[in-house]
Amino acid sequence: MSFPLLTATAVLPAVGAIATAAVPAARRTAAKWLALLVSLATLALAIVVLVRFDPDGDRYQLTESHAWIKAFGVRYELGVDGIAVALVALTALLIPFIILAGWHDADPLETGSRRWRPTQGFFALILAVEAMVIISFEATDVFVFYIFFEAMLIPMYFLIGGFGDRAHEHGEKAAATQRSYAAVKFLLYNLVGGLIMLAAVIGVYVVAGNFSLQEIAQARADGSLHMATSTERWLFLGFFFAFAVKAPLWPLHTWLPNAMGEATAPVAVLITAVVDKVGTFAMLRFCLQLFPEASKWATPVILVLALISIIYGALLAVGQRDIKRLVAYASISHFGFIIMGIFAMTSQGQSGATLYMVNHGISTAALMLVAGFLISRRGSRLIADYGGVQKVAPVLAGTFLIGGLATLSLPGLAPFVSEFLVLVGTFTRYPAIGIIATFGIVLAALYTLVLYQRTMTGPVKAEVAKMPDLRVRELVVVAPLVVLLIFLGVYPKPVTDIVNPAVRQTMSDVHQTDPKPEVEAAK
């Protein structure tokens, strides 16, 4: 197909971001509608990509390749496999809900405020992040991927620091200070990871002579490119460190609770459900494909770190007083499951990890956005400031419960299938790791049910007695996410059919096969 569909999917939100930022300051509502329409048009393009993708066809499809910086062998190369297609679709799906949920988050604090186009800037930055994330999923040139992997930090920095949550127990001044701290911490952590990755990217060029993922992988496979063991391991560590920061993996996780806690709920969803997925996706696409032997060499250590993330994140979630920080630590635990599935080096584990990326994005969006609606009504993120909400806002409480039950991977909701696959895939090769990881499920039930009990049940507190239930706009945001959680929980086949062939290719890259069962099936 001559039409550059992948480029269009990324360029449309980028152009939309520029157009949204250019809307006159007096036309804030027009800027919101423009951003929403652009996000819906991007979703339509992502659906076209999904429909045109053939899971049983070539590994990378809808490819585009153009010379860019010839002197350094840099090409503008795009292509999608089943894993990338699923995550492009997830990104395009969530952005309209993020925009709708944040409809009033960037309105001026008082009428007549002369702040520089705050509303336009907020929605333009969201669209800019969408464009950079989508092209990161599509890039098959290492250098092109690196550029957008780093560039997305800039709009995210301003979304956290400039448009953060105004709810703070010590007032607006303290909130502004904490927002600045969270934004700088986010930027510094990810910049350090990116700089280390840059050194590794340069190392790839020195060794391979180009940046094309497909050419390098093919050269590795046919033996025309050989990397010394030490070289491959150092390059792997450079890439993995940057991806582990983005993911985030313990002990490189500490920026996430600050960023999610101080950001608005929609931006918190953008961080953990969209941006952080670039890190885990890149582990599958770049670490395993470019450095297969080093990936196997590092697997035991990475599995231990993933296991620590699972238990540590869940334990800290249990002790949180802040609703948003609780969801942040829960996400650290969930990312531990995703990384564990990737490096279990089994088809069940990697299929489960990919499905987990999709399902975690939907479930976290549902829970965090409803939590944001709750916080906006009360003006507090503290769990202790709530109680009896289900009696005055039953629909809000019900959707909050469904989001929470999805977070603890209740059977019948989407995350259960992916978590089950990850655990099964891990247990078949590393039974001790798989057994210990199951304690993360128990802890997830604890922090989720305690959160619901303390906020939604019991006597109605005076501050929430007149709390309104979900409004039409908020229902439009939450209802489709709830439907998806139930649908994919009952019937995950549409997603697994897309990702499984790509997973088999990845397993082939690292020269791994699934362990044979110890007991043969009865004939």
Kindly report, residue by residue over 246-290, the tens digit of the pLDDT.
Answer: 988 999 888 999 888 888 889 999 999 999 999 999 999 899 988
Is residue 414 included in any domain, yes or no?
Answer: yes
Dihedral sign, CA of 30, 31, 35, 36?
A: negative
DSSP β-ladder status, 61-69 and 74-80? antiparallel
Please write the tens of the pLDDT for every residue from 64-115: 888 888 877 788 899 999 999 999 999 999 999 999 998 887 776 654 444 4
Is residue 418 included in any domain, yes or no?
Answer: yes
As for how many domains the chain has, the answer is 1
Is residue 253 included in any domain, yes or no?
Answer: no
DSSP state of 522: P
Residue 66: how many CB atoms within 10 A of its CB?
A: 10
- Return the pLDDT at 222: 75
- Return the pLDDT at 520: 63
Is residue 238 included in any domain, yes or no?
Answer: no
Domain around 438: 291-514
Is residue 295 included in any domain, yes or no?
Answer: yes
Q: Distance between CA 455 and CA 389 in Å, rounded?
A: 7
Q: Distance between CA 177 and CA 396 in Å, rounded?
A: 31
Is residue 110 included in any domain, yes or no?
Answer: no
Is residue 326 included in any domain, yes or no?
Answer: yes
Q: Distance between CA 191 and CA 187 in Å, rounded?
A: 6
Is residue 306 included in any domain, yes or no?
Answer: yes
Q: Which candidate, 410, 422, 431, 388, places its Cα nearest to that of 485?
A: 410
At 320, give phi and psi (nearest 5°).
Answer: -75, 145
* Crossing angle for the helix pair 439-456 and 323-343, to the nearest 10 degrees: 160
Q: Backbone dihedral region of 458: left (phi > 0), alpha (psi from -120 to 50 degrees) or beta?
A: left
- Return the pLDDT at 42: 95
Residues of the chain with pLDDT under 50: 111-117
